[in-house]
Amino acid sequence: MTPVTFEHRGNATVAWQKGPRHKFYEDRFRLLCHPIPLIAKANRGEIFAVLDGVGSAPKGMAAAQEVCDGLVKFFDTNHQVSADKGLLDSILTNANETIHGWGFMEGTTRPAGACAGTIVWIDANWLAHIFHVGDTTALLIRDGLAKVLTTVHQNGDGHLSNYFGMPTLQLQTLLIQLEEGDRLLIFSDGIGKAFSINQNIADIIESKAARSASLAALFTAARASGSSDDATAILVDIEELE
């Protein structure tokens, strides 16, 4: 099995691992936070995102990459556009239109490109603006207790009913005030489908002192539960309120 890879940036750590049955790792992620000079200079808060390319779509991985690439535009101050929810909504809508424009698999009505995604923008007032479609997940851990912030968008046969690549994007949005000591966990379905109780995820995360150790324990538990999909998880600690 491919080992878990970790990347640390500021108060956040991401872990990712290719699914044992997959040829390629098709998830994508972004840690757009203050240790990056562009992000610090823009002074527009921070963005954390996990995107999951739909495996049945030939351009699923490309769709996840398209959304990730668009997020950097939020921090482009050259055009003097206000950094607000409307700007991020516009960036995500444009990415959706591009992906939908790739068309369909030959002879079918199935999209050529599609991906699930959860994007969290944390602004200067420590308000978390959440944008979501599909079966990725955002989980808030406060005082050790888990609160799921997103909904799984799928129909009765298990197929996604809402995703990037649809004719009209229907983003689930949520605004939540963060508090010092909160932990925000964003993950793909390679983690989510392995657990039926979200509190079990929080308990694993809280069982270790270091973020990397917490995520390693989470991946071990997910694989032990039978998960064979690509897995990605971002853990953000809200350590200081400015």
Highest mean pLDDT among 57-61, 102-106, 119-123: 119-123
For residues 188-206, average pLDDT: 96
Greatest CA separation found in the chain? 54
Residue 231's pLDDT is what? 97
Count the Cβ atoms, other than its own, within 10 Å of residue 203.
16
| pLDDT at residue 229 is higher than 90 | yes
For residues 181-190, average pLDDT: 97
Q: In what order do the strands lie in the sheet with 172-177?
A: 27-32, 46-53, 115-122, 127-133, 172-177
CATH 3.60.40.10 is right for the domain spanning 5-237:
yes
| pLDDT at residue 151 is higher than 60 | yes
**Do residues 118 and 136 lie in contact, with contact meaning Cβ atoms separated by under 8 Å?**
yes
Q: Which of 1-10, 81-90, 111-120, 170-179 has the lowest mean pLDDT?
A: 81-90
Residue 75's pLDDT is what? 94
* Residue 128: band (very low, low, confident or very high) from pLDDT cuts 50, 70, 90: very high
| pLDDT at residue 147 is higher than 90 | yes
**Do residues 22 and 99 lie in contact, with contact meaning Cβ atoms separated by under 8 Å?**
no
Output the pTM of the full model.
Answer: 0.96
- Per domain, the residue ranges of the chain are 5-237
pLDDT single digits (tens) 16-40: 999 988 788 999 999 999 899 999 9
Residue 79's pLDDT is what? 67
49 phi and psi angles, rounded to 5 deg:
-150, 145
* Residue 242: band (very low, low, confident or very high) from pLDDT cuts 50, 70, 90: very low
For residues 156-174, average pLDDT: 91
For residues 183-195, average pLDDT: 96
Which residues lie below 8 Å from residue 135, measured CB to CB, with a gap of 6+? 52, 116, 152, 153, 154, 160, 189, 192, 193
pLDDT single digits (tens) 47-94: 999 999 998 889 999 999 999 999 999 998 776 678 889 999 999 999
Residue 22's pLDDT is what? 79
| pLDDT at residue 123 is higher than 90 | yes
Residue 64's pLDDT is what? 98
| pLDDT at residue 241 is higher than 60 | no
CA angle 73, 99, 236 (to 5 degrees): 50
Alpha helices (runs of H) in 139-228, residue ranges in sequence order: 189-192, 198-206, 211-224
**Do residues 222 and 231 lie in contact, with contact meaning Cβ atoms separated by under 8 Å?**
yes
For residues 147-163, average pLDDT: 91
14 phi and psi angles, rounded to 5 deg:
-115, 145
**Do residues 114 and 103 lie in contact, with contact meaning Cβ atoms separated by under 8 Å?**
no
Q: Give the whole-angstrom CA distance, residue 39 versus residue 45.
A: 8
Residue 107's pLDDT is what? 80
